Structure 1
Amino acid sequence: MKRLLVGLAFAMAVFSNAYAGAEKPAILKPTIVLVHGAFADASSWNGVVKILEKDGYPVVAAANPLRGVANDAQYVADIVSGIGSPVVLVGHSYGGSVISETADPHSNVKALVYVAAFAPDVGETAAGLAGKFPGSTLAPTLAPPVPLSGGGKDLYIRQDKFHDQFAADVSGPEAKLMAATQRPITEAALNETQTAAAWKTVPSWFIYGDEDKNIPAQASAFMAARAHSRDTVVIKGASHVAMVSNPGPVARLIEKAAREASR
């Protein structure tokens, strides 16, 4: 009888453990929302997306309108609100201004990752930050502004200058394709004053190349330090499009941010 009772107790313990394991909820990974910057489009994230999706992360590469900080931030905020679950916001270049304006302490954004990106404080502009330290050579490579019928002007990088200025560590054929498909940004967007700085309340991570000709490395280092970056990665020899030329390190930092923000 004693052996029977011991056997029943053992069986019940096994059943209880199995049931508890079956009922234990899976840990859901946050959605990664990627926001491209000026003179690029969502395809600039392709290499990063492949890695993130392979590692099980849901990803959205937003089509940043590039019309103005407040306008673009609202567009991204609508995407984030529609997701409903935890989000890691990633911005490249001007996209950093957008994610800084988008997130707020009460949203579902749990982390910010700046990839060769602006992280402006309230009252600052992308153009102002680009010129805060020496080294940016963007201005002389811009094509004549394109007047818009509704007012304002669109800016492009001259296609014959694009490779050296924007993507020097990308192959010639790929850079030529990027130059032809670049999306313009309004002149006003680069000079629009920031009204929010989400990095003050949301944990942030930074990664950039030391050969960036759009945003000088000194400016990126300044912004990362000011934001109390949880981790700052500098890619030796990388251009302004580190996510295109070095998708591995960029994806690893995004995943690190996602893990640490989920704790």
Structure 2
Amino acid sequence: MSINLPISFIDSHCHLDATEFDADRDEVIARSRSVGVTRWLVPAVTAQTFSKTISMQQRYGADIALGMHPIYEAQHQELHLTQLRQALELGNIIAVGEIGLDFYLPQLDAARQIFFFEAQLRLARDFDLPVIVHIRRSQDQVLKYLRKWRVKGGIAHAFNGSEQQADEFIKLGFCLGFGGAMTYSGSQRIRRLAQSIPLEQIVLETDAPDIPPAWLAGPPAERNEPAQLPRIAETLALLRQTTLTQISAQTSINVQNCLFMR
């Protein structure tokens, strides 16, 4: 006799601590739960936001990662690395993130990005934690430093590389994050990857409030939030010609495997 289990989802990357949610965060969480998104991974982006990120764990039971995002490299200071180490020592942090490299924005200082990326990879290795990596136009460079420091795997957030690069991340113990970008018919490379990569290596994410799916694109673009994840999952199910139940079950297992069961 088969048992019908309710479909549930894990949003493996959402910034619930962002100021965009300050006015209605409780309602955002309620909407999320009402459609079956019952677990969230919230990554910090600067040391100044660590306390707010931690409050997402305390108030909503969210899983959290702490790290310093490459886009905000101008705000980062070496003393923040000490603050990160001290926060990691307290426990209950499941990953170091959001960290990585961003070579899309020309105004960013590449050398500073690399310095803080490597320093945080060392911390991840010291604490035996996985990492959540930002890899915008920097897949090969991020892979270079991941090979150098050999951390405990993690998630390649908003993956948009080649199939060969995807294979290299998978070899290093990473799952690949797919979200709103996959819902656009013009995102052919991302959609091909979502079809061809082993489902066992895919996790779903919203990156809320950013990367709105196609139906929120506007103009004007609407704020993204975790409640959009089931519809994003439907896109993946259609691309892979499988069921939403299979997508929800396997991607949830994948988050567990990538972050909790190493």
What interval of TM-score do these two structures reach, taking the shorter chain for normalisation?
A: 0.3 to 0.5
Q: Give the structure-2-normalised TM-score.
A: 0.33
Whose helix fraction is larger, Structure 1's or Structure 2's? 2
Highest Rg: 1 or 2? Answer: 1
